Amino acid sequence: MDEFFEHTHIRKEDRIQWVDEHPRKTKDIFQERMFQVEQERQAVIEAGVTDPPPISEESIWIETVGGKRRGRVYGMGEVRDSSMVRPRVDGPITTTSADVLDLRERITILNREVEQHAAKYRDLEDR
């Protein structure tokens, strides 16, 4: 994640200088947050949790840059839906009951939208 960002925000002439201060500060904040999350995960492992959830660079990046604005995430480009950004998973996946409830709610909303579009389509066909 941060390698792509660096590649697109460092001057091509010298490959050292940032194009301006904003991307440099963003990268610093992201790296600091990644370090914090890694430390928290290590503490959880040391506390005896055998299967902590994996670290999602993409989620931390989105959190760092303030989320999606007008369909785009700073440093990532166009993102259809921030929930569609999937973390890289190196270990087993754990699902919480909150995740399940969120997915059920999303499915309900999407089903309603499908029904609305189907009704509009039928109306157009009847004309």
**Same domain as 102, residue 63:** no
**Same domain as 49, residue 84:** yes
Q: For the chain, what is the domain count?
A: 2
**Structural domain of 110:** 95-127
**Same domain as 55, residue 69:** yes
**Same domain as 116, residue 66:** no
Percentages of the chain per state (helix, strand, coil), in multiples of 5? 60, 5, 35
80 near 86, Cβ under 8 Å? Answer: no
**Same domain as 64, residue 109:** no
**Same domain as 10, residue 63:** yes
**Same domain as 83, residue 22:** yes
**Same domain as 117, residue 86:** no
Percent of the chain residues topping a pLDDT of 90: 15
Rounded to whole angstroms, the Cα distance separating 28 from 45 reads 26
**Same domain as 62, residue 121:** no
**Same domain as 117, residue 103:** yes
**Same domain as 113, residue 77:** no
**Same domain as 66, residue 126:** no
Residue 89 binned pLDDT confidence (cut-offs 50, 70, 90): very low
Rounded to whole angstroms, the Cα distance separating 112 from 104 reads 12
pLDDT per position as a tens digit, 41-65: 888 888 888 788 888 888 888 888 8
| Tokens, residue 44 | 């959880």
Mean pLDDT of 56-80: 83
